[in-house]
Amino acid sequence: MRLHPQVAASLAARPRPTEEQIAADPMAQLMATREAMVAAVDRECGPPIPVAHVSDVDAGGVPCRLYVPAPGAPVLLYLHGGGWAMGSVETVDRMCRRIADRSGCAVLSVGYRLAPEHPYPAALDDAERALAWLRGAGEALAVDPTRVAVGGDSAGGHLAAVLARRQRDAGTPLAYQVLIYPVIDPAMSSESYRELSEYGLESTAMALFWAMFLGDAGDPESPDVAPLAADLAGLPPALILTAEYDVLRDEGERYGDALLAAGVPVVVSRYLGVNHGWVRKLALFDAAGVAADQVAAGLRTALAA
């Protein structure tokens, strides 16, 4: 294992609140982190790639951003990361633009409600509402609502995995799923949690994110919370990207193994030398562009007319 110098430099430059600051006022620290993520977009993610049509839309009451590179394009419904408590359409804007540009697919980026103000199942409800809106309004949006994939990073990867399974159960299956360092295991039981908690996403932070997301209604043994608790047969083909220096590495790869065992076509790629959150930071990490382009290639193949 060798941490990439770009990642090492990013970690060294990252401002971090102390445990005492977090304990004294966790909500204030959360709000500050939300603002800092948005403020860092230009520095971390670079300039926006032009896409033919970009618009902020109301998707059945859910604020979303739609990227359409060409009329009639298939669509990726994208769910941002941030521990279900941070992040927005702004923090993944550059990545969504690159995926749309390189894949030829439209991207509907979902601004779902955040925990702890809106705990489970608010984010999942918003994702389903946005998907239903897309399917109903797609032709008017100049996209193809019959060819839809779902994707997300981190907590968004969790929502994407659950949404894919729920759509299978509803008889309205999706064509493809892209899971970028997804959150999978509420028990946080994998070895990578014990080995890799010093590279940007700490196990203590992940435990707090789970607690905020679950609130009083989330059942950690439910398939809607723990994707590995579900029957995985018949799910759409999957692309799973993991990071070598990420506490979520092992559970994402374990989910890939489980999908494969259930007969689901799956590609799992572990990116070496990088840590959690690298994919959207196109201006900081060379590997981010490679990963975004891998996602774009997978979408082109899966959603080809």
Per the residue annotation, which of 88, 154, 190, 192 is the catalytic one?
154
- The rounded mean pLDDT for the chain is 95
Q: Is 17 a residue whose pLDDT tops 80?
A: no
Q: Which H/E stretch holds residue 267?
A: strand 266-275
85-87-88 Cα angle (round to 5): 120
Q: Is 106 a residue whose pLDDT tops 80?
A: yes
Q: Give just the sign of the alpha carbon dihedral 95, 208, 214, 86.
A: negative
Q: Is residue 158 flagged as an active site residue?
A: no
Q: How far apart are the first and last CA of the chain?
A: 41
Domains of the chain from N-terminus onward: 5-302 (3.40.50.1820)
Looking at residue 197, what is its pLDDT?
87
Q: Is residue 276 flagged as an active site residue?
A: yes
Q: Is residue 53 flagged as an active site residue?
A: no
Torsion (CA) 225, 230, 235, 241 in degrees, nearest 10: 50
| Span of 145-159, 195-209, 240-254 with lowest mean pLDDT | 195-209
Q: Is 21 a residue whose pLDDT tops 90?
A: no
Looking at residue 268, what is its pLDDT?
98
Looking at residue 1, what is its pLDDT?
63
What letter does residue 217 receive in the DSSP assignment?
Answer: T
Using CA atoms, how far apart are residues 132 and 129, in angstroms rounded to an integer? 5
> How many other C-beta atoms can be found within 10 angstroms of the C-beta atom of residue 140?
8
DSSP-assigned letters across all residues of 74-111: EEEEEE--STTTS--TTTTHHHHHHHHHHH--EEEEE-
Q: Is 184 a residue whose pLDDT tops 70?
A: yes
Q: Please write the tens of the pLDDT for every residue from 68-86.
A: 999 999 999 999 999 999 9
Q: What percent of the chain has pLDDT over 90?
A: 91
Per the residue annotation, which of 101, 153, 246, 250 is the catalytic one?
246
Q: Is 19 a residue whose pLDDT tops 90?
A: no
Looking at residue 244, what is its pLDDT?
97
Looking at residue 249, what is its pLDDT?
98
